[in-house]
Chain A
C-alpha cells in the first residue's frame, strides 16, 4: 500500500458516533469558551486626559454621591458590585427551561418553569427519572414511581428503610438502598433484586451509557463498579470510608467527595493503585464540602463549601485541574445543589431565608432569588 493510498483510506473511513459526539462536544466547547476570563484590550499608549484630572473628577463625584440620599444608595451599589455578586429582585419564575423537584417538610413538589407547583404526596425523598417523565419517591420501606402530577404508577415494599433512589441514564433501572443492601428494580417496578450487601449510606451512581453499570460504596470504604443485570462487580478503589457523595463526570471518571476532599478516580483501572486516583482537590483548612453536583456536560462540578458560617458555591473543572471559582458566598447554610438542564444555572436552597438562590455559571448574569420556597432542591429536569 502506497503512502498516498494510506492517506486516502484514513480520510475515508466511516467513523461511528461522530454526529452525536459533535453535538455534545459543541455544547461543552461553547461553555468552556464562555467561562474564559474577560478579554482586556491592551492599554492605550496616549492618555487623552491627564490621570490626575480623572482622579480628581472621580473624587468629586464620590463626594457628591455620598452626600445625597440617592447617592448613598449608589455607593452601596458600587460597593456590592466589587465585593460580592449582586442579586436581582425576587422573581417567581425559573430562568431556564425545565422543572425543579424539591423535597419540603410536607413532601416533594415540582416547580414548573412558569412558577406552578404540584405536590407529589407524603414522601421523604424523591429524584427525577432521566427524561422527567416520572419521579422515584420513598417513604419508610416503600419505593414508588409517580408522575410529576403525583399519580402513583407502582409501589414496592422493601425489607428495610428505603433511601437514595437513583434512576439509570436510560430510565430502565432504579437503584436504591434498602437497609444495608443495595437493590435494583426495573423502571416498571419488576425484577427487584439485590445488587450489593453491606453498603455505605451513600447514594449509588449509574455510569453514563446504556450498560447499566453502577458505582457504589461499601460500609468498609470500598468503591465497587457493578453490573446488576449480570450479577458482577469489581473493586475500583478502596480506603474511601469518609466519602459521602459519588458522581460520574463522563463514562471514564468518577468523582468522590468526602468532607474535606474531592477526588477524581479513573474508571476501571485495577492494576496501578497510584493511578486510580487521578487527582484530589483539598478544601481549604476547616472547610467542609456539603454538597456536589456534576454539570450536564460533565465538564464541571459544583460544590457547596461551608466554613465559619459561610457557604460558598464553588465551580471546578471535573478533571480537578485549574483554579476553582467561587460563584457566590452567603451567610448560613445552603442545601441541595442542582444544575439547570442547559448548564447555565445552579439552584440551591437558602433555608434561613426560605428561598432558592439561582446562581449563573456563565458571565454576564446576576444571581436571582425565588422567595417562599422551603424545599431542599432534588433536581432540575428536563427539556422535553
Chain B
C-alpha cells in the first residue's frame, strides 16, 4: 500500500495545473563533511562550497561579513532594529541568489550593496512616518533618539539617508566614487558632490561641537 492510501497525501503537482504554478518539490541539501576554516579560505572558495550546500561554509561567510554589513546598515539608518533587518535581509537575499553570483567578483561588495540599499529604504520609510504621523506616529517610528551619543554619529544623523549611504560606502567600505555611482544608480558627479557636502557638514558640525 502506498503512502497515498495510508496518509491521504495527494499527487498535487500532476492533478491540478493551476496550483501547479506554485507547486514545487521539497529540495534536498547536500551535506559537506569537510570542516571549514574561515580564516584560511577565500570568499570565492566559501561561496563555491556554500553553493554546493555546505552549511559550514555559509556560516563562515556570515561570520566574516556580518559585522561590516550591520555597521554599514546602522550608519545609514541609525536604528538598531532597522539595521538588523537590513543586514539580515542582505544575507537572506544573498543565500537565495548564490547560484547567480559571479565568483570571479568579490563577495563583500555584493552583500554590502544589498544591505546599504535596504537600509536606505528603511530610513526613507522611517522619515515618512516621522513627518506624516505627528505625535502619535512618532511613538511607533523607527528612529532611535536614545542611541549611542557619539559626536560623529550625531553629525551623521543630520545628513539625509542618501548622503549617509555615500559616506558609508566611501569611507567605511572603501568603495570608489565610480562603484558608488553604479551601486546607487547615481551620476558620478552627484556622488562626488554628495561626498563633498557630507564632509563639509561633518567637519563643520564636529568643529562646532568641539
Contact = CB atoms under 8 A, between A and B. Distances in A.
Interface of A: 1, 3, 6-7, 9-11, 13-18, 21-22, 24-26, 28-30, 32-39, 76-77, 79-80, 83-87, 207, 209, 211, 213, 225, 227, 230, 232-234, 250-252, 266-272, 275, 284-287, 299, 307-308, 310, 312, 314, 322-332, 350, 352-353, 360, 362-364, 367, 369
B21 A284 contact: yes
Contacts of A36: 27, 29, 53, 95-96, 98-99
Nearest to A364: B28
A80 B6 CA distance: 12
A10 B173 CA distance: 10
Contacts of B74: 15, 18
A360 B29 CA distance: 13
B202 A25 contact: no
Contacts of B128: 269-272, 275
B203 A227 contact: no
B40 interface: no
B84 A234 contact: no
B36 to A, nearest CB: 13
Nearest to A208: B81
17 contacts: A6-B199, A6-B202, A16-B80, A16-B144, A18-B71, A32-B96, A36-B29, A80-B9, A211-B139, A213-B140, A230-B139, A252-B85, A268-B140, A270-B132, A272-B128, A326-B12, A352-B8
Contacts of B210: none
A29 B58 contact: yes
A234 B136 contact: yes
Interface of B: 1-4, 6-14, 16, 18-19, 21-24, 26-30, 50-53, 55, 58-59, 62, 66-67, 70-71, 74-75, 80-85, 87-88, 91-92, 95-96, 98-99, 122, 125, 128-129, 131-133, 136-137, 139-142, 144, 147-148, 150, 152-153, 167-168, 171-172, 174, 199, 202-203, 206
Contact of A269 (B21, B87, B125, B152): B125
A367 B12 contact: no
A33 B21 contact: no
Contact of A308 (B16, B129, B152): B16
A83 B30 CA distance: 21
A381 to B, nearest CB: 23
B1 A10 contact: no
Contacts of A38: 27-30, 53
A323 B22 contact: yes
Contact of A363 (B28, B59, B174): B28
Nearest to A252: B85
Given A80-B2, A299-B92, A329 B27 contact: no
Contact of B85 (A18, A30, A250): A250
B92 A14 contact: no
B22 A314 contact: yes
A312 B18 CA distance: 13
B132 A271 contact: yes
A209 to B, nearest CB: 7
B80 A79 contact: no
Nearest to B74: A15
Nearest to A34: B29
A308 B18 CA distance: 12
Contacts of B14: 83
Contacts of A352: 8
Given A13-B150, A213-B140, A268-B137, A83 B13 contact: yes
Nearest to A361: B26
Contacts of A30: 55, 58-59, 62
A324 B22 contact: yes
